[in-house]
Amino acid sequence: MNKDQVKGRVEEAKGKAKEVAGKIFDDKGMEIEGNVQKNIGKVQSGYGDAKEDIKDELEDD
């Protein structure tokens, strides 16, 4: 697992928590901010996954 995968998953979890807190407290701004943070985390972890896949492919050759 590389740093992009870890950081992305952490951001995704923090974003999800913020999104849920926004729903609980009826705070649309926090909910939207959490959703954005969650999606940024998904992109970053996806980037990390792709890097890991490429690295694995290069090692197999």
Rounded to an integer, what distance in angstroms lies between the CA atom of residue 2 and that of residue 38?
19
8 Å CB contact between 9 and 43: no
Residue ranges covered by each domain of the chain: 3-60
Rounded to an integer, what distance in angstroms lies between the CA atom of residue 24 and that of residue 2?
34
Question: Residue 61: what pLDDT?
Answer: 72
Residue 28: C-alpha distances to residues 15, 19, 35 (Å): 14, 9, 10
pLDDT class of 60 with cuts at 50, 70, 90? confident
Mean pLDDT of the chain: 96
8 Å CB contact between 35 and 21: no
* pLDDT tens digits, 35-54: 999 999 999 999 999 999 99
